[in-house]
Amino acid sequence: MAALRYAGLDDTDSEDELPLGWEQRTTKDGWVYYANHTEEKTQWEHPKTGKRKRIAGDLPYGWEQETDENGQVYFVDHINKRTTYLDPRLAFTVDDNPTKPTNRQRYDGSTTAMEILQGRDFTGKVVVVTGANSGIGFETAKSFALHGAHVILACRNMSRANEAVSLILGEWDGFLQEFQWVHL
């Protein structure tokens, strides 16, 4: 091992292994923190990976969490009749790094209005859609109507607007609240 360290190589391939003098601990509510006994400091991030971790799930069957007279948490294994300060769930931690917002576009030219509005409720909202008698405007008006919006179709041609309303009502019969069209 000394030869590996001298060569600058770790003696393990595990990135989660703690450096010498470090200990992994948990809070009462399941957050993992790291104690550096050499410098007598603690931190939330793993000293090698920089990741934050938390414990996922409940204690294994037969285990119980207690607090001693000094306020330290310990664990009781009732099946094997032993106690430990080491949380038995530490082997099953999950990374808890907040996700960074991505600049990547979520939608492209083939994305439909229905896909963009999926899971959203526009009940009580008023939406004005220009050019709603054909193309993108028609699909957008139809999608908003399905999602509960009060849709105003802004069209230049009243007969085409009436056709669009009939098509939408025919396709989404029973789902729509009301339509209003405006002749500009």
pLDDT digits (tens, 9 = 90+) for 102-117: 556 677 777 777 777 7
Dihedral of the CA atoms 71, 65, 38, 50 (nearest 10)? Answer: -120
Q: In the predicted model, what is the mean pLDDT of residues 40-60?
A: 86
pLDDT of residue 78: 92
Whether the pLDDT of residue 160 is over 80: the answer is yes
Confidence of residue 98 (pLDDT cuts 50, 70, 90): low
- pLDDT above 90: percentage of residues in the chain: 10
Confidence of residue 130 (pLDDT cuts 50, 70, 90): very high
**Can you say whether residue 81 is alpha, beta or left, with left for phi > 0 and alpha for psi between -120 and 50 degrees?**
left
What is the value of pTM for the model shown? 0.42
